[in-house]
Amino acid sequence: MASLGVNIDHVANVRQARRTVEPDPVRYALLAELGGADGITVHLREDRRHIQDRDVDLLRATVQSRLNLEMAATAEMEAIALRVKPDMVTLVPEKRQEVTTEGGLDVTSQRDHLRGLVDRLQGAGMGVSLFVDADPLQLEACKATGARWVELHTGTYAEAPWDQQPLALARLAEGSFIARSLGLRVNAGHGLTYQNVEPVAAIEGMEELNIGHTIVARALAVGLQEAVREMRALVQNPRRDPLFGSQQP
């Protein structure tokens, strides 16, 4: 049964649109936890387009579940993580021009750099996850860095036309199988919605799904606590839709 990490970056997006003090993502993290979130996820970007340093500091002091800090693999972000010490660090690719994270981290091309970073973060007591596509070579490279988790990029599945979703889902299931056979623990996220989350939640070995935009959008209608409750129910009790066939590779 997978757990639910709620990404609150999009709350900060609304605040930064006016560069004011509301809505405060720290307060909304509390509402997400009251709604049943198993963890809170934030991405501190290098250009600080949404989440700010003060948010991360206050979240570390107030989050009662787990704090997952998404960040680029840079010296600046490493220093922040070592100071704040979130429960989990997820290393993600980052481009200034992108609206949101596009694709997984290319671990194969920067294995040595990532190995040192992973070692320092884990040595300081943080869990480390690498956000990657469900590609065997990338997963093998993740193992070589010493990281204990991977987060599978679900964007290709989420954006696929309905007739191509079964193949994209099968690739995720295969990726989960390969990762687990390498001794890696498996999370997933990106682009998941109330309509497409259940098949991913049903993949064997899936530990946590990190979901943000669709929950914040739903919260406009029903409030954040209820939006989190609804998503958590889908994640923890997913239907096995015959359309997608077996969830095993």
- Catalytically active residues, by annotation: 43, 70, 190
Kind plus residue range of the DSSP H or E element containing 44: none
Cβ-based neighbour number of residue 229 at 10 Å: 16
Task: Count Cβ atoms within 10 A of the Cβ of residue 182 and give its class: 0-12 exposed, 13-18 middle, 19 or more buried.
Answer: middle
Query: What is the number of alpha carbons within 13 Å of residue 99 lying toward its C-beta?
Result: 4
Amino acid of residue 78: E
Residues 6+ apart with CB under 8 A from 105: 73, 91, 92, 93, 130, 131, 132, 138
Cβ-based neighbour number of residue 28 at 10 Å: 22
CB of 5 within 8 A of CB of 210?
Answer: yes
Cβ-based neighbour number of residue 212 at 10 Å: 23
CB of 130 within 8 A of CB of 156?
Answer: no
Which residue in 71, 78, 8 sits closest to 39, CA to CA? 8
CB of 56 within 8 A of CB of 247?
Answer: no
